[in-house]
Structure 1
Amino acid sequence: MAELLNLEKKLAEYKCDTNKAIRLKLVRFVEDLEDETMSFSPLYSHQVFGDEESVFGYKDLEIQLYYSTCSLTTFFNIKYSSKVVEKYDNVEVDNVESKMLEFIPAGYCINLDEFIVQLEKDASFRPFGFLIHSYTVYDEKEGLELNYEIYKTDISCPGFREYHERLQTFLIWFIETASFIDVDDDKWQFFLVFEKYLEDGSPRFATVGYMTVYNFYAYPDKMRPRIGQMLVLPPFQGEGHGAQLLETVQKFYTRDPAVLDITAEEPSEDFVKLRDFILAKLCQDLQAFAPEKLKKGFSAEMIEEARRTWKINKHHSRRVYEILRLRVTNMSDPAQSSEYRLDVKRRLAIPFKKNKKEATRLSRLMPEDWLAQQAEMSVSQEQEYLEETYQSTVEQYRRILERLARV
């Protein structure tokens, strides 16, 4: 037993958490290379290093993955204080470099001098595609307005393919189920966010984030754009860039008469919250969503005006209705509160109604006492689920309304 514990202790010394070992950095100036406060870590590394998100064979492992902030030219380096040379008690040493290089595109730098030379070339970098929106964000720390621009492009734009190969590597570190897309499919469209700043009197463009959209065909003569991926890079998160990007894309496609509506592929919980906020913001001034009409309930007029004006489908317009109706509902009034709660719960109960139809079809095959027990359990479970989901939904809606009040 003592020998086993001693072995486990020795092995643990050479096991590294890859989420902590990986050090990412966006570099504008040479002095940023020595500034450890600018480094940030991934949320995930399982796609590269397996479900345990760890490697064996190194002490004090540091995986440096630096990007020039404009063109995303990449510097890759591995540091450690010691390494197991061969097998350690029949445990293989992980080849960190080979695992990383499966995801880092060709053309990366392996020494800092080479990277610094490439960093200087960022002065000539310009955004891909064409400008569709610009906005400013006030930086309280610096006490000044920062300028941002959003561009639309596609894979045919010269140089964009190589740039996108570098950009999409961030997905595996920050989106749990991320996958790389087939950029050779010309139905993919790309929306890029840049910070526009001056250095030595000349404009520079720092990469902030991006979104991919796939244009699906909708019978008979329409198009249904579907958002595939969206990411704001960590140093820029929490500044409202995601909202600016999503609203810009929504408005961009709204102007196209061929677009039926705009959807999203397997949206995360955070994306759903962001979309709810943007769509509620866009719809709050529509006539169909006027306070007196919200109090009368969800209507065909709301569905039609939301679709016609902002290319929003029925499911999303229903959520917008619930958010905006909450704003005009006095939740301290028992009658208004009860009416709102029942209205929302009717929507939340729809999946249960579908399941009950299936259960009725199968009921002929089951004993009566078993069916009675299952019916009692299902009613109780449904009520509990509906109440919990209702409460969390209303809390989420309240946060959206608070954000709308600040706009």
Structure 2
Amino acid sequence: MAGLSAMEKKLAEFKCNTNEAIQLKLVRFPEDLEDDSTTFNPEYSHQVFGDDEVAFGYKGLKILLYYNAGNLSTLFRIKYTSKVNENFDCVEADDVESKIRKIIPPGFCTSTDDFVSLLEKEVNFKPFGTLLHTYSVHNEEAGEDITYQIYQADMTCPGFREYHERLQTFLMWFIETASFIDVDDERWNYFLVFEKYNKDGATLFATVGYMTVYNYYVYPDKTRPRVSQMLILPPFQGEGHGAQLFETVHRYYMSSPTVLDITAEDPSENYVKLRDFVLVKLCQDLPCFSPEKLMQGFSQEMVTEAQQKLKINKQHTRRVYEILRLRATDMGDPEQSRGYRLDVKKRLIGPYKKKQRELAKMRRCLRPEELTNQLNQIDLNMQHEQLEESFQQLVSDYRRVLERLAQA
């Protein structure tokens, strides 16, 4: 047994955490290659390396995936200080290269020199598609305003298909349940964010992030765009690009008479926060959301106006109403505060009431001992506690949206 544990210890030295081993970079200048501050790591690597996010068989493993900032031409290299050999009782090192090759498209460089020579061609790279929106963000570090642009593209743009193949590889590292989409389906729309920057007197473009949207058909003559994936690359996160992209895409569809409303597929917590912020910002000036009307409760008028003018569905309109009503409510006033609490809890209790109805049905058709089992799962006190907890969580989320709105 002691022999085995010594062997196990030895083998454990050859395990590497793949989230740390994978080093990503968006390169603008040759000196970025040696600059550690431009490196970032994945949040996830389980889709490529399994749930443990471990590569076995190497010490000091580094998986370099460097991209030219605009065109995303790729450098892929693997480095390590040592690798297990055959003397190790028939233990084989993981084939890291073939795992990475499955997600990055062919045509990448394996030599730094080739990659740097491609960097010189970045000056010819121009964004794909139609320009929808230009905005600027003040950069403290550079002490100046930096200009960004959002474009809408599709697969008919020359070179876009290959570019998109390189861009979507980032999804695997930053979206937990990411999957690649079928680009031959023409109902996909692509929205891209680029930064304009200067290099030796020329204007170049760097990729910041993107969003894919699928246009579902709604009988008889409408579509319901559904946001599928959205990613702002890590070096640009926290600068407000997500909100700019979301609002630009929303406005793009708002102007179309055939769009019914806009939804999202399996939205993450961060996406919901972003959506709350943008939709509240768009809705706050609609007449139906005036403080007097907010205090009278959620109305059909709000649903109709938000859908017709802003393509927002009923469920999202309800959230917007709750956030704006919180802003109009004096929570220090017992009566106003109670009114707000009851109003939100009435919506939150919906799923519990549904359970109650299901139980009533069960009572009619289950044997007594089965019923006690079911009943034990739904204890009323627990319901009240959960309800209060959900309410408090919601209010703190809503306050964050209102704070961000006040700063905007």
> TM-score scaled by structure 1?
0.98
Kept in 1, the 8 Å contact 2:59–2:81? The answer is: yes
Equivalent residue for 1:22?
Answer: 22
Aligned-partner SS, 1:191: strand
Equivalent residue for 1:220?
Answer: 220
Cα displacement string for residues 28-51 of structure 1 (whole angstroms, at most 9, x for unaligned residues): 000111101110000000011111
Kept in 1, the 8 Å contact 2:262–2:311? The answer is: yes
Equivalent residue for 1:211?
Answer: 211
Aligned in 2, Cα 1:301/1:87: closer, same or farther, shift over 3 Å? farther
Q: Distance in 2 between matches of 1:310 and 1:53?
A: 42
Amino acid at match of 1:151: Y
Equivalent residue for 2:202?
Answer: 202
1:126 deviates by: 0.3
Aligned-partner SS, 2:40: coil
Equivalent residue for 1:391?
Answer: 392
1:338 deviates by: 1.1
1:3 deviates by: 1.8
Cα displacement string for residues 119-166 of structure 1 (whole angstroms, at most 9, x for unaligned residues): 111110000001000000000111100000000011111100000000
1:90 deviates by: 4.0
Kept in 2, the 8 Å contact 1:129–1:154? The answer is: yes
Aligned in 2, Cα 1:353/1:39: closer, same or farther, shift over 3 Å? same
Q: Distance in 2 between matches of 1:151 and 1:222?
A: 24
Mapping of 1:168-179 within 5 angstroms?
168-179=168-179
1:357 deviates by: 1.8
1:9 deviates by: 1.2
Aligned-partner SS, 1:330: coil
Aligned-partner SS, 1:335: helix
Aligned-partner SS, 1:67: strand
Aligned in 2, Cα 1:207/1:372: closer, same or farther, shift over 3 Å? closer
1:86 deviates by: 2.7
Kept in 2, the 8 Å contact 1:214–1:225? The answer is: yes
The worse-fitting range, judged by mean Cα deviation, of 194-203 and 230-239 is: 194-203
Equivalent residue for 1:32?
Answer: 32
The CA RMSD over aligned residues, in Å, is 1.4
Cα displacement string for residues 351-381 of structure 1 (whole angstroms, at most 9, x for unaligned residues): 1122222221111213189549827943122
1:198 deviates by: 1.8
Q: Distance in 2 between matches of 1:373 and 1:81?
A: 58
Residue 58 of structure 1 pairs with residue 48 of structure 2: no
Amino acid at match of 1:379: L
Amino acid at match of 1:360: A
1:87 deviates by: 6.8
Mapping of 1:142-161 within 5 angstroms?
142-161=142-161
Equivalent residue for 2:305?
Answer: 305
Q: Distance in 1 between matches of 2:190 and 2:163?
A: 12
Name the % identity: 62
Kept in 1, the 8 Å contact 2:84–2:91? The answer is: no
Amino acid at match of 2:336: Q
Mapping of 1:265-344 within 5 angstroms?
265-344=265-344
Mapping of 1:325-404 within 5 angstroms?
325-364=325-364, 365-367=366-368, 370-371=371-372, 374=375, 377-404=378-405
Equivalent residue for 1:247?
Answer: 247
Q: Distance in 1 between matches of 2:372 and 2:271?
A: 40
Aligned length, in residue pairs: 407
Residue 95 of structure 1 pairs with residue 98 of structure 2: no
Aligned-partner SS, 1:98: helix
Amino acid at match of 2:73: T
Kept in 1, the 8 Å contact 2:125–2:204? The answer is: yes
Aligned-partner SS, 2:42: coil
Amino acid at match of 2:247: E
Q: Distance in 2 between matches of 1:346 and 1:4?
A: 61
Cα displacement string for residues 257-305 of structure 1 (whole angstroms, at most 9, x for unaligned residues): 0000000010001101100110000000110000111011000111111
Aligned-partner SS, 2:76: strand
Q: Distance in 1 between matches of 2:131 and 2:300?
A: 36
Aligned-partner SS, 2:23: strand
Q: Distance in 2 between matches of 1:369 and 1:184?
A: 51
Amino acid at match of 1:167: L
Q: Distance in 2 between matches of 1:62 and 1:356?
A: 55
Equivalent residue for 2:70?
Answer: 70
Aligned in 2, Cα 1:344/1:14: closer, same or farther, shift over 3 Å? same
Amino acid at match of 1:253: Y
Kept in 2, the 8 Å contact 1:20–1:41? The answer is: yes
Kept in 2, the 8 Å contact 1:224–1:261? The answer is: yes
Aligned in 2, Cα 1:92/1:201: closer, same or farther, shift over 3 Å? same
Aligned-partner SS, 1:345: helix
Aligned-partner SS, 1:274: helix
Aligned-partner SS, 1:216: strand
Q: Distance in 1 between matches of 2:370 and 2:165?
A: 61
Q: Distance in 1 between matches of 2:371 and 2:70?
A: 65
Cα displacement string for residues 190-235 of structure 1 (whole angstroms, at most 9, x for unaligned residues): 0000001122222101000000000110111101000000000000
> TM-score scaled by structure 2?
0.97
Q: Distance in 1 between matches of 2:253 and 2:140?
A: 33
